[in-house]
Amino acid sequence: MKTNIYFFVLVFASVMSYGQQNAQFTQYMYNTININPAYAGSRGALSIFGLYRTQWVGLDGAPKTSCFSVNTPLNNSNLGLGVSLVNDKIGPTNENNFSVDISYTIHPSETLKLSFGFKATANLFNLDVNKLNPVEQSDPQFQNFNNVFKPNFGAGVYLHSDKGYVGLSVPNLAETNLYNDNDIAIYKSRINYYLIGGYVFDLGPDVQFKPSTLIKMVEGSPLQVDVSANFRILDKFVIGAAYRWDATFSAMAAFQISESLNIGYGYDLETTNLRNYNSGSHEIFLRFEIFKNNGNMTTPRFF
């Protein structure tokens, strides 16, 4: 029985490599640096961000993702710099992506900023075949892959003002085969295209409303569309909901603990047949910001 479970997990992981591909986040509006390098430095502060996501709780081998990033403008110049680390565990696979982002911003008008970004990534892929429990332990096809290194690079553009933003990015421009069997790519990283956008509406002196969307396209997979609606109240509380087309409904909340510290939580409820095998997905983030340049800080601080 255990062998069958882990065999399912391996097949599931290979399906995920063509479907979900890059780690997905419900609270993508707080984690834009992960998908678009042009975002680096756009908040006008040294921004330190951490996120943990456990997906499909109760399903053996389900994804667990940890994300940590730091980004900042450079000396009040037009340059921004960021570094990030994403760890993604799915079944017997464990991936670590270390990225460096650099951006350059121009000012098309008094209210608009247009940023161009470049991302360089080092991918370390691990496959623990001991978790597969193969019948023939000596089978050469079942061997551990420890820290298989694959470099990659990406690019993005990000147009934003104090009220709205739109961005287009491809964080990984090169396709890579992470696990081959007889020269056939079983676990292949495909190119992911992202379009992100949002706008902040003032509903009153103490309430703002921000609809946003994230559209993701991967070759061989259906178009993924996330739409969300968040309300910010008294510059302290954020509550919202989201829908991932034909996949999940989500609830989100965030709290501005202090001027520098923000914490948030998101919960996903599946709408697919997977809902019969898990109790949902949980996501929590923490953001800390210092050395703020109020002249460059995006306000309201929704993105």
The 10s digit of each residue's pLDDT in 256-275 is 999 899 999 999 999 988 88
Q: pLDDT band at 75, cuts 50/70/90?
A: confident
Task: Kindly give, in sequence order, each residue whose CB lies less than 8 Å from that of residue 295, ignoring residues fewer than 6 positions away.
Answer: 44
What's the mean pLDDT when you consider all of the chain? 85
The 10s digit of each residue's pLDDT in 77-101 is 899 999 999 999 998 889 999 999 9
- Residue 115 in contact with residue 82, Cβ under 8 Å? no
Residue 30 has pLDDT above 80, yes or no: yes
Question: Between the CA of residue 233 and those of 27, 163, 252, what are the distances in Å?
Answer: 18, 16, 14
Count of positions (residues) in the chain: 303
Mean pLDDT, residues 15-25: 59
The 10s digit of each residue's pLDDT in 143-195 is 666 778 889 999 999 999 989 999 999 999 988 766 555 554 556 677 899 99
CA–CA separation, 200 vs 198, rounded Å?
A: 7
Residue 19 has pLDDT above 60, yes or no: no
Residue 248 has pLDDT above 90, yes or no: yes
Residue 122 has pLDDT above 90, yes or no: yes
